[in-house]
Amino acid sequence: YADQDTDGVFEIYSVGALGGTAVKLNGPLPPGGTVTAAGQQFTPDSSRVVYLAGQDTADVIELYSVLATGGTPVKLNSPLTSGGDVQAVHVSPDGSRVLYLADQDVDNTFELYLVPTTGGTPVKVNGPLAAGGNATSSGLQFSPDGNKVLYAADQDTVGVMEAYVRVIRDRANPG
């Protein structure tokens, strides 16, 4: 993560553990676009990197995945509602899926979504929220076997954050 090519424009790079030439991982950025400092993660096998960036639209932060050796990034989130952004990410223990927190469907209503690391259709993880409720990234995690997701939300009563567990049915269909 550096402003290596253009002063003030932060992008994400990969370089081998023994050194070598840095490879830019993000796609071209629009004027004012940037990769965020938060959210960058390797998959556990180090084959892919997920990151958050204003890559397609400068002021809209979205989730991308790319091979750690470089290549064409894949956008992982669904189209965002006007004013929406992706705010947090968490990679599954086996690296096959990514959880992300976003106000994807309704501006300022944050929900959790699960998507394959290589791309696909995201599935909403949280249950229906109480009017004005939100999920949060606080405490967000996969079980060690990757078959369950633990999250917090004021899902039943606004202002009362509670913990929830969602069982993930199978790896081919993450919902």
82 backbone dihedrals φ, ψ, rounded to 5°:
-55, 125
- Dihedral of alpha carbons 17, 36, 38, 56, sign: negative
- Dihedral of alpha carbons 101, 107, 109, 114, sign: negative
CA distance 8 to 144: 39
Digit-by-digit pLDDT tens for the chain (175 residues) are 888 788 888 889 998 888 888 899 999 999 999 999 888 999 999 999 999 999 999 999 999 999 999 999 999 999 999 999 999 999 999 999 999 999 999 999 999 999 999 999 999 999 999 999 999 998 899 999 999 999 999 999 999 999 999 998 654 444 4
Q: Are 140 and 112 in contact (CB under 8 A)?
A: yes
E strands within the chain?
2-6, 9-11, 13-14, 23-24, 41-42, 48-53, 62-67, 74-75, 86-91, 97-106, 109-116, 123-124, 135-142, 148-153, 162-167
